[in-house]
Amino acid sequence: MSDEHPSNYGPPPAGCYVSPFSALFPSTFPPETDPNIVACFQLADQDGSGFIDDKELHTALTSCNESFSLRTVHLLMYLFTNSDTRKIGPMEFTSLFYSLQSLRAIFEKLDRDMSGKIDANGMSEALLSQGIALPPTVLELLVTKFDTTQGPIRTIDYENFIL
């Protein structure tokens, strides 16, 4: 994932005071955020709270051509939120969106036949590009676990690729 858009901002620096109420107030979009991302978030934020819940995130991602199951949306929310509010703010949404763009680019580069799926070799290349090397047997097990087609050649689709 890109260094410009980290997926986890981590704890505040030592010595920084963080109000216990900070999770109640919306964050802001990072400078230079693509206006389409801002519009996508604002469209999904139906109550105008500055936060979106799981259903609103699902709507936002779908409107930005990233259609996922609610299960995947829940996982993404867990990965990209820093609080237990079960809602995602503009900063986290932006990080999530840029991470998905990066993963989509990796996936599409490896989906050479444009089938919407990659095989174990493609998965191996994706992992190696992130500095992760797995033995072929583990890689086959991984792809088999996430293969939704159950066809003769085991493949993994984009939604399962990001998991």
Q: What is the pLDDT of residues 56-114, one digit of tens each?
A: 999 888 888 788 999 999 999 989 887 777 889 999 999 999 999 999 999 999 999 99
pLDDT tops 50 at residue 47: yes
Q: What is the distance between the alpha carbons of residues 148 and 44, in angstroms, rounded to a whole number?
A: 29
E strand or H helix that includes residue 62: helix 54-63
Q: Which residue has the higher pLDDT, 151 or 60?
A: 60
Measured in degrees and rounded to the nearest 5, phi and psi for residue 130 equal -105, 10
Q: Is residue 19 part of a domain?
A: no
Q: Is residue 24 part of a domain?
A: no
Residue 9: per-residue pLDDT? 37
Q: What range defines the domain where residue 81 resides? A: 29-103
Range in 20-29, 49-58, 90-99, 121-130 with the lowest mean pLDDT: 20-29
In this structure, the answer to whether residues 33 and 98 fall within a common structural domain is: yes
pLDDT tops 80 at residue 6: no
pLDDT tops 50 at residue 19: no
Largest Cα separation within the chain, whole Å, is 57
Range in 3-7, 47-51, 129-133 with the lowest mean pLDDT: 3-7
Of 78, 103, 128, the residue that ends a domain is 103
In this structure, the answer to whether residues 96 and 36 fall within a common structural domain is: yes
In this structure, the answer to whether residues 99 and 115 fall within a common structural domain is: no
Q: Is residue 87 part of a domain?
A: yes
Q: What is the pLDDT of residues 25-34, one digit of tens each?
A: 556 898 899 9
Q: Is residue 133 part of a domain?
A: yes
Q: What is the distance between the alpha carbons of residues 94 and 41, in angstroms, rounded to a whole number?
A: 9
User: How would residue 129 be classed by pLDDT, with cut points 50, 70 and 90?
Assistant: confident
Q: What is the pTM of this model?
A: 0.76
Which structure tokens are listed for 121? Answer: 């070799």
In this structure, the answer to whether residues 95 and 45 fall within a common structural domain is: yes
**What's the half-sphere exposure (Cβ side, CA atoms, 13 Å) at 44?**
26
In this structure, the answer to whether residues 73 and 126 fall within a common structural domain is: no
The CATH number of residue 75's host domain is 1.10.238.10
Q: Is residue 83 part of a domain?
A: yes
